Chains A and B, each alone.
Chain A
Amino acid sequence: GESVGLHLPTLSVQEGDNSIINCAYSNSASDYFIWYKQESGKGPQFIIDIRSNMDKRQGQRVTVLLNKTVKHLSLQIAATQPGDSAVYFCAENTDGNKLVFGAGTILRVKS
């Protein structure tokens, strides 16, 4: 999700449901993408990454999908838990070893 002004997009899901967080990236030349999770008062935490030569990559309870045609990245979280509540950022590697970050999406998990 892209942000509008100071308001981040928010996704609210019921505990146990699957979550899908979306991200539109800007540079068609980007070759590496990362998803981060950030809890309040903490630094961003690496979740999963994917290179541009892949369409899908799976981790533990998380899957990242990459659609280069429309420059879209998504993060799927299976069986969402209260501990998954956080802000999620996508990042793209556009220029050497520098990352450009999206503004983030808030995930709220309802018990």
Chain B
Amino acid sequence: DAGITQSPRHKVTETGTPVTLRCHQTENHRYMYWYRQDPGHGLRLIHYSYGVKDTDKGEVSDGYSVSRSKTEDFLLTLESATSSQTSVYFCAISLAGEGTDTQYFGPGTRLTVL
């Protein structure tokens, strides 16, 4: 699992509430990513980070923000959750710049917005 943990692993929340998901890595990788996974859509990139305080938008970034104040933590925030954000969220790290572009994934967070 490349030393990646995600918390919480499961969360149920109500529409309009703020939600923050945490991704933590132990191996000092520079690149980190947040994806969402929905039936029929595979994995879609929400935001990614290429260093502390360096982030950029992915394919489906509307309604999400991220922060990376430390190398080891990448936070995904839903400022006001909507039912369309019910999904499974995966964090990943990349070994880019370390000899390969392979990405490794965390175990996921299942989020349900009622």
Contact = CB atoms under 8 A, between A and B. Distances in A.
B34 to A, nearest CB: 12
A63 interface: no
A83 interface: no
B102 A34 contact: yes
Nearest to A104: B42
A61 B40 CA distance: 28
B40 A8 contact: yes
Contacts of B31: 97
Nearest to B40: A6
Nearest to A98: B45
Contacts of B44: 101
Nearest to B39: A6
Nearest to B90: A43
Contacts of B58: 98
Interface string A19-57: 000000000000010101000011111100100000000
Interface string B39-60: 1111111001010000000100
14 contacts: A3-B40, A5-B40, A6-B39, A43-B105, A46-B102, A46-B103, A46-B104, A49-B102, A93-B101, A97-B48, A101-B43, A101-B44, A103-B40, A103-B42
Contact of A44 (B40, B96, B105): B105
A44 B101 contact: no
A43 B103 CA distance: 12
Interface residues of A, number: 25
Interface of B: 1, 31, 33, 39-45, 48, 50, 58, 90, 94, 96, 100-108
Interface of A: 3, 5-8, 32, 34, 36, 41-46, 49, 89, 91, 93, 97-99, 101-104
Q: Determine which residue in A3, A44, A46 has the highest number of CB atoms from chain B within 10 A of its CB, and name it.
A: A44
Contacts of A5: 40
Contacts of A44: 43, 90, 105
Contacts of B43: 44, 89, 91, 101
